[in-house]
Structure 1
Amino acid sequence: MVTLPTTFNAFPSEIISMFIDHLDDIMDLGNLMLASSTVWRHLEQDQSVLTVVDRMLKDGPTHRETSFFIHALAHLRCESPLLETYIDAHGLDFTAYRSWAYMQNPLLGTLPHTMSPAQVRGLLTTSSAISATALRCITLFADRFNAMRPLTEWASFDVYTNDWTHLPAGPRHHVPDTGPLRWGEVQRALKAFWMIQFSRIFFDTFNRGAFDWPQDRMLKISEMTPTEIFGFECYEACLGVGRGDHPWTYFLDVHYIYSCAEEYLDEIKTSSHVSSDRDLPPVQRVEGDDEEWPATSLSMKRFARIFKEIRYRQDGDGFRPWRRLGFAIWDTERLKLAGFINDIRKDPNPDNVHWLTITRSEQLDRTRWLSVIRKEDFRFVQQHRLVAQDSESEEHPSDYDTDTYTWSP
């Protein structure tokens, strides 16, 4: 925990107010609050803590998508009747990754006015813990990513018939230093951990009987998995038609980053080593980063393109071998430096992205991606090989006329 000199705690209230006004991140405020009881007493005394935190979430560096889940979690912790009313009107779609569902929702744009200073303090403590966990997670993934040695030349290889021993031996690409963690990458991971926290608190609150909903809705929610409340099943629609460039692939990385975060949490449960906050790297911010970030790291589009035979199931197993390398998290520039993306070009329609192939064939692309995963993960890919079905899905528009795929046993 951060410690402050005793002279700081001796500052008058006016000086502390000026200091707090210059903070813009709730993680910084949470750490300061933990380090200085004087700061917290100041915030609690004049009841300004709600205003301060709302300002930081609105104007600070935390991305608006992450801020949404922080606000929603606050309403959930307070068992806010406004949140229950909103869920009554919109169902659990309010958590779905759709801009119309929450980006312009005034209800969740501020902390609930009934939230006590003690509850805000708990929220800030949670924020500090989540931020530290997200940084440890992404740092571990970055170390693994930078240690990769992907293949660089084409060789005859078929993932569906060859085993691991037939994977070409080389040559391999030496991944250069891809630079420090970027703000957008950290924000992607941070959002995933906030979503996990929201899911946990939601089901805890639900199981306590806090919501007075119709019986059919209560039964439906009781049968849901934690990921189902976010509507991840909706993101799979594009994959039923085998289209890696379908607009719905825009949403897939949310599911896979969430899965990466869950896998990391499972991993550290069995790990004896826990890094300290001093091990965490500084996050590089580039001018303009705080305004926008790409909703997808673009690796998902590439992955969907070269592994279009692999049907992503709702549980995200299709991407499992690459989770521990953080592929869904990384910015395009990091992937380019590592040799997984050569370039992209955009047409006048900003929603369309056309990929330039990075090698002479998609066969080599697939081999390159397979060359960086573990032996046991390679076997997993083989065990989930697919059988093409020459049929058109009735769930999708007829203009997407292509094969659909199912998992073979």
Structure 2
Amino acid sequence: MANEAHQVSFEDLPSEIVLQIFSSISDLPTLDHLTIVSPNAFRVFHTYGPEIIHQVANKSVIRETLVLMRCVAFIRRSMPADKIEKTFEKFLRVHVMARGQLYESWPMRQCGMPRDFPTGRWSFRNLLRGGLDKECPAHAFSAREFLVTARRTAIRAEKCLARARAQYLDRVPACPAEKICYGMMPWNDRFEGVRFAPPDGEPFTWVEMQRMWRGFWRLQLLEEIRTAEAAGRLGWRPSKDPLVPRKSFEKQYFDWMTTRDIDWGGTIHELHMAEEFVKETTGAGAAGTSDEVTAPGMRGNGMLWPAKTERTKEMKSNPVWWIRHLKNHAPGWKVAYRLTAAPGSPLRFIPMSEFRKLGVFVWDFERLKDMGLLWYTPWKPSEFPVAGGDASTIVFTWRSYLDEAVLRAADSRAKEEWEAYHDDMRSRHGFHSEEFYVVGSDWMRFVRQRMYGLYEMDWIEKARVAVAAA
């Protein structure tokens, strides 16, 4: 018995050794899981939490989401004396940059998982209670509270994706039975389709999880702003001028992103998806209304680093390439944004909310191909993911995922718009119906060449010039 090797339990390890183990952890889910299952790890984390979160987050979180996490912690610890920014809009402009602004402000090599992050007041070492800032207020996050928030946002992100996947798996989509081409009056076109079942699509990829996770962090930031302003810690109350409409912070936030739609791309719909998920699953719009753990702890690094796809391995070995998928607009958004705005498009007037239900704005290119929504291959994140010759065939499948009532309502509005446009053209230029239909028969040609001026409200004037020139 005396010769038996003495077995040392993890619970017996001194703090110095546990800290070394913490320093080797490469993601927040594993950190969270370890502090849940080990009393010793929980004790050490309670003492050194801000430093541990600082190190782990800098190694594992992409810079865009890390900026949001820092903003969340900063707003939580804010005090009137901090004088963050004079107005809410200025705070958004300076600290909650749009996707393009964020990635253009740093070299590409620094947009992934940075090893060295600022050590000033925006560092987790100073933002969390028990860190370097000895004057950190009592209402600031503790390290444990912040880790619980990170857990909740990740779990909700996964559940939100699972709900969107269930939505599209519940549909019976179709592809056209033969090569088709929609005319400029798609409500009159009827084509035969062949039903198919989209593949299950498990697991979620790294890019999909990152898109959805940042959506929930944006929602968390909005909730922190509401709470801090209600407590009088920000000084951003709406104008007292009775002539100025009073807007909630939520309305200002969404209005600010909507007016910069081309900069934000599908990011605003990630936020909408997060908000809709929370409202429908908790009965409230606030991201922080429920602190209940919705799962017994994160499942290690598999949650934010899904481990079953080859693309995930590529992401770990070459993060700069995969960051481009987050820097550029999501492929599903590129298609929906352009074609729902294009007069004559078969997707004209389809509400974006219908596509959010299916997760179109967060899915990666491979999943969208499996769903039949994209065919373009090979594809780069900076490119438009639909080739002109395939457009009608792909749009047919997009429409097949939608309810008939949605299609009827959209087609009715598109028909009214087209008839008003046609009547206006004929009264001004004397075009006959048949002649005009021939001129505008290739709807994708007008979309491709931007002959309709998709970003202009007065599209009729733009179209009139285009057709007259033809």
Quickly name the TM-score band, shorter chain normalised: 0.7 to 0.9
Are residues 121 and 222 of structure 1, via their aligned partners in 2, closer, same or farther at CA, if it must alter by over 3 Å? farther
Partner of 1:32: 34
> Corresponding residue for 1:200?
223
Q: 2:98 matched to which residue of 1? A: 97
What is residue 241 of structure 1 aligned with on the other side? none
Of 365-374 and 126-135, deviating more is: 365-374
Larger Rg: 2
Matched, 1:176 2:199: yes
Per-residue CA distance 1:247-273 (angstroms, 9 max, x = gap) = x2x632001122122222233247xxx
Report the TM-score, using the length of structure 2 for normalisation.
0.65
Q: Counterpart amino acid of 2:155? A: A
Matching of residue 130 in structure 1 with residue 157 in structure 2: no
Q: Which residue of 1 aligns with 2:396?
A: 367
TM-aligned CA deviation for residue 160 of structure 1: 7.1
**Structure 1 residues 82 and 183: CA distance shift in structure 2, 3 A:** farther
Contact 1:97 1:251 in 2 (8 A): yes
The correspondence for 2:359, drawn from 290, 310, 326, is 326
Instruction: Give the match for residue 387 of structure 2.
Output: 356
Q: CA deviation at 1:373?
A: 1.8
- Identity, % of aligned pairs? 18
Aligned residues: 366
Map of 2:73 onto structure 1: 74
Task: Name the residue aligned to 1:304.
Answer: 337
For residues 2-401 of structure 1, the aligned pairs below 5 Å read: 7-45=9-47, 48-60=48-60, 62-79=61-78, 84-86=83-85, 90-93=90-93, 94-100=95-101, 110-111=123-124, 113=126, 115-117=128-130, 119-153=142-176, 154=180, 161=187, 170-212=193-235, 216=239, 223-226=247-250, 228-229=252-253, 231-236=256-261, 248=262, 251-269=264-282, 276=295, 283-284=306-307, 285-288=312-315, 290-291=319-320, 292-295=323-326, 296-309=329-342, 318-343=351-376, 353=384, 355-357=386-388, 359=390, 362=392, 364-379=393-408, 381-382=410-411, 385=414, 387=417
2:368 aligned counterpart, secondary structure: helix
Measure, in 1, the Cα distance between the counterparts of 2:405 and 2:163: 20
Taking a change above 3 Å as real, the CA distance of residues 7 and 183 of structure 1, as seen in their structure-2 partners, is same
Distance 1:354 1:268, change over 3 A: closer
Measure, in 2, the Cα distance between the counterparts of 1:275 and 1:144.
21
**Residue 152 of structure 1: SS of its match in structure 2?**
strand
- Looking at structure 1, the residues matched to 275 and 338 of structure 2 have their Cα atoms a distance apart, in angstroms, of 25
Distance 2:375 2:121 in 1: 40
Letter paired with 1:55: Q
2:193 alignment partner, SS class: coil
Q: CA deviation at 1:114?
A: 5.3
Contact 1:134 1:190 in 2 (8 A): yes
Tell me, yes or no, if the aligned pair for 1:50 and 1:120 is still in contact at 8 Å. Answer: yes
Structure 1 residue aligned with 2:453: 402
TM-score by length of 1: 0.74
SS in 1 for 2:402: coil
- Give the partner amino acid of 1:325: L
Q: Is the 8 A contact 1:76 1:201 kept in 2?
A: yes
Match of 2:445 in 1: none
Tell me by how many angstroms 1:169 deviates. Answer: 6.1
**How far, CA to CA, are the matches of 2:240 and 2:92 in structure 1?**
10
CA distance in 2, matches of 1:108, 1:338: 46
Greater mean deviation of Cα atoms: 122-131 or 18-27: 18-27
CA 1:119–1:218 in 2, change beyond 3 Å: closer, same or farther? farther
- Contact 1:310–1:318, Cα closer than 8 Å, also in 2: no
SS of the residue 1:28 aligns to:
helix
Q: Which amino acid aligns with 2:54?
A: D
For residues 225 and 86 of structure 1, the distance between their equivalents in structure 2, rounded to whole angstroms, comes to 15
Distance 1:25 1:355, change over 3 A: same
- d(CA) in 2 for partners of 1:205, 1:72: 12
Secondary structure in 2 matching 1:85: coil
Could you list the structure 1 runs, at least 4 aligned residues long, displaced by more than 6 angstroms after superposition.
155-160, 217-221, 278-281, 388-391
Output the amino acid matched with 2:247. Answer: E
Kept after mapping to 1: 8 A contact 2:35/2:45: no
Amino acid at match of 2:231: R
